[in-house]
A and B are shown apart, each in its own frame.
Chain A
Amino acid sequence: MNSDLECDVLVVGAGPAGSTTAKFAAKNGANVIMIEKRQEIGSPVRCGEGISKAWLSEVGVTPSSRWINVEVEGARIFSPSERVFEINEKHAGNEVGYVIERDAFDKALAIDAGNAGTEIMLKTHAIGVTKENGKVTGVKAKQYGKEFHIRAKLTVGADGFESQVGRWAGLPTNLQVKDMDSCIQYRMTNVDSDARYCDFYLGEVAPGGYIWVFPKGDHLANVGIGVQVSKLKNPADVKAYLDRWIDKHPGYAKGKKIDMVAGAVSISPPIKQAVADGIMLVGDAARMIDPITGGGIANGCIAGKIAGEVAAKAVKEDNVSHERLMEYERGWRARIEEKQYRNWLAKEKLVSVSDEVFDKVIDAISGHSVEKLNVLNILKLVKDKYPELTKEFEQFL
């Protein structure tokens, strides 16, 4: 029996971005409901499960053995001819990180949100937003076949890549096909992954993206691919690209698959507007994924904290106007936007680079310390070793 419900802040989607938003809104005194269409938060896992460490304390998350699977020493970037560039903890510090159990991680964040006072509703699907005088006033939801209205002073769309809340509210979150990578991943056992490293394979093996091997320990690893489907002759070939790569690597070809997931990530520049009257968007719903790495957990949580804090203040003041919510818009932009934009520019360049050039770039920088490697220094090293390539990267100099 569901009659209509009411709250201060309604969060749609219990992923990392939603749970973090809910936690900080509830902590700061708001009466919060978070709805999730799945029956189990965090499951099934649709993720490579690699994160860096640096941002966890910022969003009040303490590393826990309940969700840390492997702590890696570094990352290895493999050029098309498999020259290796290593980024290790010594050089990159907190940028290097953990391979996590994503379902346990998402649950841990939801537990924090619940402990802060958030009401959590599972198997509850938002099917539309309601509006009054152009202002969002909550959502129409469906649970166990029954439809009802959840009236909220402020609605937060944290509904991931497939986000509909933003579109229902009229926010510009549409993507072009070239601004997304389609991904497929196997969890494989009996593989020769190195538990010290997250590995990335670049070039024609994965047009517009990369192949990743993230170790889960004991010869177990997430082996996945993300590609820009617009770069493939046949978009349905994503799986074929991954299978081909596995076949060519004996250490993986002998592996056994124990699960398979697919998904999509945006690789777009930051969106123009993430707030309107009565509504805010966070995480993948606001296309906050890093266009170079395809990782979105960190940005989703960082923005979620800001969103939750602003939400609590705005409902307390009884002012959820677009102008009031600009505090969140300015906050997430100050923290995330510049890097997302810069990485988008760099990604646009990277996806046009040939295998030959990739090999030379990796060759030029391997052996140098990451500490000193910003884009400019990389270009200088490339210029010294392969002066003929300078033209390729002129725009960045």
Chain B
Amino acid sequence: MNKKLLHIVSKGDICLSCGACVGICPLDAIYLNEWRIEFDEAKCTRCNICVEACPVGAISIGQTTCDHALHPDLHFPGR
């Protein structure tokens, strides 16, 4: 279990670029770059608030055993 990393996934084809998740994230870990949302993994605490705020369910927090299992739609700045 402790080897598992929580990771956050945005499903780009569902996302409407509405900015709800950006405005609500308490840690300033999400932003809209042009029309695509980006997560700053280092700031994110997986609090789930953005998941609750998204009106179309485009964000989910999943578990993975791989440190670098990034969803193709995800782009972590700085990597």
Contacts and interface: CB of A to CB of B under 8 A. Distances in A.
Interface in B13-35: 16-20, 22-24, 26, 28, 31-33
B61 interface: no
A45 B21 CA distance: 18
B62 to A, nearest CB: 15
A180 interface: yes
Nearest to B51: A235
A70 to B, nearest CB: 25
B18 A262 contact: yes
A175 B55 contact: no
A229 B52 CA distance: 7
B74 interface: no
Contacts of B56: 184, 236, 238-239, 262
B27 to A, nearest CB: 9
A104 to B, nearest CB: 21
A266 B19 CA distance: 12
A130 interface: no
Contact of A182 (B17, B31, B53): B53
A261 B18 contact: yes
A263 B19 contact: yes
Contacts of B54: 182, 235-236
A125 to B, nearest CB: 8
Nearest to B32: A162
A177 B49 contact: yes
Nearest to A46: B18
A174 B26 contact: yes
Interface residues of A, number: 29
B6 to A, nearest CB: 19
A184 B58 CA distance: 14
A264 B52 contact: no
B72 to A, nearest CB: 21
A162 B58 CA distance: 17
Contacts of B32: 162
Contacts of A168: 28
Interface in A256-305: 260-264, 266
Nearest to B60: A236
B78 to A, nearest CB: 13
Contacts of A266: 23
Given A261-B16, A262-B16, A180 B23 contact: yes
B52 A230 contact: yes
Nearest to B16: A262
Interface string A150-166: 00000000001111100
A264 B16 contact: no
Given A174-B26, A264-B53, 16 more contacts: A161-B19, A161-B22, A162-B31, A177-B49, A180-B53, A182-B53, A229-B52, A229-B53, A234-B57, A236-B55, A236-B56, A261-B16, A262-B16, A263-B19, A264-B20, A264-B23
18 contacts: A161-B20, A161-B22, A162-B23, A162-B32, A164-B22, A168-B28, A177-B49, A182-B20, A182-B53, A183-B55, A229-B52, A235-B57, A236-B55, A262-B20, A262-B55, A264-B18, A264-B53, A264-B55
